[in-house]
Amino acid sequence: MTRRYPLWLVGTVFLGLLLFLLADRIWALPDPGRVHSVLILAQDRTPLRAFADNEGVWRYPVTLDEVSPLYVQALLEYEDRWFYWHPGINPFALVRAGWQWLRGGRIISGGSTLTMQVARILDPHDRSISGKLRQMFRALQLEWHYSKAEILNFYLNLAPFGGPIEGVQTASFAWLHKPALGLSHAEAALLAVLPQAPSRLRPDRHPELAQRYRDKVLRRMATQGIWSQEVVDDAMNEPVMRSRFQQPMVAPLFAERMKSQAFAANVARLQTRLDTNTQWVVDNVLRTRVGGLPAKASIGVLVVENATGYVRAYAGSADFYNAERFGHVDMVQAVRSPGSTLKPFLYGMALEDGLVHSASLLSDVPVQLHDYAPQNFVRRFSGAVSVTQALQQSLNVPAVDMLQRLTPANFVARLRNGGVVISFPENAEPNLSVILGGAGTTLEDLVRGFTAFARQGISIKPRFLEDEPVVERRMLSAGAAWVIQDILRGIPAPEGSVNATGVAWKTGTSYGFRDAWAVGVNDAYTVGVWTGRPDGTPLPGSFGAAAAGPILFDVFRALPKRGGVNTRRRPPEVTQTDICWPLGESAARTAPEQCHVRQQAWILDERIPPTLPNLQQYSWSAGLQTYWVNPLTGLRVTAECNAPQRVSRQVAQWPLALRPWLSNTLLEKIRLPGFDASCPPGSQYQDGAQLAIRHLDDSTRLYLPKVAEVQKIKGVTVDLLAEGGVGQYFWLVNGEPAGVGASQQGLRYTFARAGDYDLTVFDTAGAVDKVAIRVISQP
């Protein structure tokens, strides 16, 4: 039998519903999802930093599955046990609250449901009959438009917890210093009761009162049988500690950078891929090292995971709160001079282009390129060096020479294509100084470029978010990248550090000691370190290996052990072979007498490029020199000699510029025999006289003036004289150019300090003579 309702009742309900829908349209419900504050999270959802809304309210957005079920149990039991059954208003609770008010003359229980509490948060009103009616109307609106789960989630995010703190997640971090998902029974009960009187129950001001109210909740949970008495008794023994509200400030500059992305995406919270453990490691290193920095100096550190490109740690400054150290300036993004950190890319490109292999002969000698004369950091020259030595010792002259061959414009374009953006002043063009730091880039871009050495030559752009696209660029061929990382792996760790993590690394120091860099890779990570003054003031004596290198190795040693790409797996195109200096050819194809120095080299695709031709002002490069001898005497004859017995010989000659640095043993290998008297040379050979230093030999001792005479005489001055040879004489003192003199003239030189001095002279034809003298101080 169908039950019939009176028409007046149906009409009344219909009219009431119609009026509600009309009122709902006229007085629209305020947006419950309004969240103007922003929370930046780590990978494990740990808050890194929060940004308050325009009213200064701190609200850490949270979802129901990110809150402990214990808290939800305590909340619903204490505040609204019929939450899932009523339509937003609990008439029985309202009647009970009204009766208690009439009997006691004061409010004993509010009768408000959780839905009504959310309604009051969204649309505040006064404590009057009209205000209560308005609250009830808003509660009905909430139930009409949203599910119970959504309404509960609004409460979790909007409930007041004292002062500017809103939401259970904010309260949990503020008063308990932990996420809401990890609450204990006692902590869940505390947070459930705080919104009843958030100002009176603040744990930082009234911990004893807060504990009494918390215990009231605990007792109810036991009475209702929701929690066992044993659990409640144990929870009541847990004191409420006085706790100061502190905003999370982990990786603050990184979080500030992410805030703009959150606003752009119109989200209240942004979960990044930053790893809290790795960030803690980096922050701990900075806390340890910051005390040893010069005044107003800062540090920037970036840690990128090679396999994914995820940024695992980001320290934009040494101390965010230290204004003297410019803690608010993010040095990960700052454009600075990279010093010598670009050299690995240069040699990698030269390897890839087939110009050199790892043991190719290079010249570290004084050069003058128009108005540019590059100097090494240590202010001395090494002469003959391999590509490996030049890179490991960060020698400047070989790098500038290599850049001439690649051309600066080509080098910069290839760097940019690989992800390392090089900046120049307005209207400036790439030039040779770029390889020594005469340009600008960022720590972030440098780290991006160095990832190529761990990723078969392919760099990856640092990624901050999981859904960020993977951007990869080919920087080098796989073979070239492997050879360079193998060379960089051979650089000794800084003094006091131990390279126990297989780090391939490179340092850099900018002009005037303004920037000190260290960038390194291992299988799992690429790490970059910058240190200096953010305002660009020089820090004399602060260079990469000493200032940034130890920080780099501190970070690497402390990083969590994690699998990564295997950078030690040699690509098939890389093989090892022996080559010979000075010609640079394979040892197997070089005559034994022409193999003056044997080197082991990594080569690509079986290519063995010979020693590069000399681009400088000297007269010849490495190569075979042909001469003729009289076989009867073994002495040299000229090409014009008509001696029928004349035979040709060949000797492997070193580049002329390297002659002053060659050992006597090597000089003897390239020395040509004297001329045969039966076939004398022409005048261009100066009668064939051998080049020799006059008046000075290895037993020479020069004496500085006595102490009393020092003010008048600055040192001991001598005339450097030589005889024989061809053309001009080029003099060097301890490897440094001292001057040029004509064949029959001397060069006046003053020795200002006591010590041992190596004197070298070479002529236009490449003949060399050396002596070692000593300068002694007189008492």
Backbone angles phi, psi at 620, to 5 degrees: -150, 160
- What is d(CA 184, CA 175) in angstroms, rounded to the nearest whole number? 13
The SS3 of residue 534 is coil
DSSP letter assigned to residue 585? -
Distance from chain centroid for Cα 13: 68
331 in the same domain as 186: no
Could you tell me the CATH number of the domain that includes residue 550? 3.40.710.10
* Best CA proximity match to 657, nearest among 579, 762, 504, 552: 762
- Residues paired with residue 313 on neighbouring β-strands, in sequence order: 303
pLDDT tens digits, one per residue of 585-609: 999 999 999 999 999 999 999 999 9
325 in the same domain as 462: yes
In terms of Cβ atoms closer than 10 Å to its own Cβ (0-12, 13-18, 19+), residue 341 is: buried
The answer to the question of residue 132 being in a domain is yes
Res 308: pLDDT: 96
DSSP letter assigned to residue 658? G
Q: What separation in angstroms does the CA of 354 have from each of 607, 715, 776?
A: 7, 50, 50
The answer to the question of residue 584 being in a domain is yes
Residue 571 has pLDDT above 60, yes or no: yes
Q: Is the peptide bond before 572 cis (omega within 30 degrees of 0)?
A: no
The answer to the question of residue 355 being in a domain is no
607: how many CB neighbours lie within 10 A of its CB?
11
pLDDT tens digits, one per residue of 712-748: 567 888 888 888 777 778 888 887 778 777 656 678 8
pLDDT tens digits, one per residue of 209-260: 999 999 999 999 999 999 999 999 999 999 998 877 778 899 999 999 999 8
- What is d(CA 584, CA 3) in angstroms, rounded to the nearest whole number? 106
- What is d(CA 419, CA 475) in angstroms, rounded to the nearest whole number? 8
Res 711: pLDDT: 52
- What is d(CA 399, CA 506) in angstroms, rounded to the nearest whole number? 14
703 in the same domain as 562: no
Q: Take residue 470 and report the two structure tokens written for it.
A: 């993977």
Helix (H) / strand (E) element for 758: namely strand 755-763
- Catalytically annotated residues: 79, 340
Residue 461 has pLDDT above 80, yes or no: yes
The answer to the question of residue 411 being in a domain is no
512 in the same domain as 490: yes
754 in the same domain as 660: no
513 in the same domain as 449: yes
Backbone angles phi, psi at 32, to 5 degrees: -70, -20
The SS3 of residue 741 is strand
The answer to the question of residue 10 being in a domain is no
Last residue of a domain, one of 236, 251, 270: 236
Res 343: pLDDT: 97
b/e string for 139-169 if b means 16 or more Cβ within 10 A? Answer: bbbbbeebebeebbbbbbbbbbbbbbbbbbb
Q: How far apart are the first and last CA of the chain?
A: 131
| Amino acid at position 352, single letter | E
Helix (H) / strand (E) element for 749: namely strand 747-751
90 in the same domain as 213: yes
Q: What separation in angstroms does the CA of 74 have from each of 148, 190, 212?
A: 17, 9, 15
Cα–Cα–Cα angle for 259, 262, 265, nearest 5°? 150
551 in the same domain as 484: yes
User: What is the 3-class SS of 52-101, one letter each residue?
Assistant: CCCCCCEECCCCHHHCCHHHHHHHHHHHCCCCCCCCCCCHHHHHHHHHHH
208 in the same domain as 93: yes
Could you tell me the CATH number of the domain that includes residue 99? 1.10.3810.10
Q: What is the CA radius of gyration of the chain?
A: 40
Res 707: pLDDT: 59
User: Considering the chain, what is the average pLDDT of its residues?
Assistant: 86
pLDDT tens digits, one per residue of 499-519: 666 899 999 999 889 999 999
459 in the same domain as 545: yes
740 in the same domain as 633: no
pLDDT tens digits, one per residue of 168-187: 999 998 889 888 999 999 99
- What is d(CA 295, CA 583) in angstroms, rounded to the nearest whole number? 52
| Amino acid at position 517, single letter | W
- What is d(CA 412, CA 429) in angstroms, rounded to the nearest whole number? 10
The answer to the question of residue 581 being in a domain is yes
Residue 266 has pLDDT above 60, yes or no: yes
Res 684: pLDDT: 44
Lowest mean pLDDT of 378-392, 621-635, 678-692, name the range.
678-692
List % helix, strand, coil for the chain (3-state, nearest 5). Answer: 35, 20, 45
The answer to the question of residue 119 being in a domain is yes
Residue 681 has pLDDT above 90, yes or no: no
User: What is the 3-class SS of 595-653, one letter each residue?
Assistant: CCEEEEEEEECCCCCCCCCCCCCCCCCCEEEEEEEECCCCEEECCCCCCCCCEEEEEEE
Higher pLDDT, 719 or 16: 719
- Residues paired with residue 692 on neighbouring β-strands, in sequence order: 723
pLDDT band at residue 708 under the 50/70/90 scheme: very low
Q: Pairing state of beta strands 692-694 and 755-763?
A: unpaired
- What is d(CA 753, CA 738) in angstroms, rounded to the nearest whole number? 15
On whether the CB atoms of residues 42 and 184 are closer than 8 A, the answer is no
On whether the CB atoms of residues 691 and 727 are closer than 8 A, the answer is no
Share of the chain above pLDDT 70, in %: 85
Res 717: pLDDT: 87
The answer to the question of residue 290 being in a domain is yes
Q: Take residue 33 and report the two structure tokens written for it.
A: 């999802």
204 in the same domain as 67: yes
- What is d(CA 192, CA 235) in angstroms, rounded to the nearest whole number? 14
Average pLDDT over residues 651-657: 87
Q: Take residue 765 and report the two structure tokens written for it.
A: 């034809």
Backbone angles phi, psi at 656, to 5 degrees: -55, -40
Higher pLDDT, 700 or 640: 700
- What is d(CA 134, CA 128) in angstroms, rounded to the nearest whole number? 10
Residue 779 has pLDDT above 80, yes or no: no
On whether the CB atoms of residues 70 and 188 are closer than 8 A, the answer is yes
Which residue range forms the structural domain that includes residue 627? 623-684
Number of domains comprising the chain: 5
Ramachandran class of 562: left when φ > 0, alpha when ψ lies in -120 to 50, beta otherwise: beta
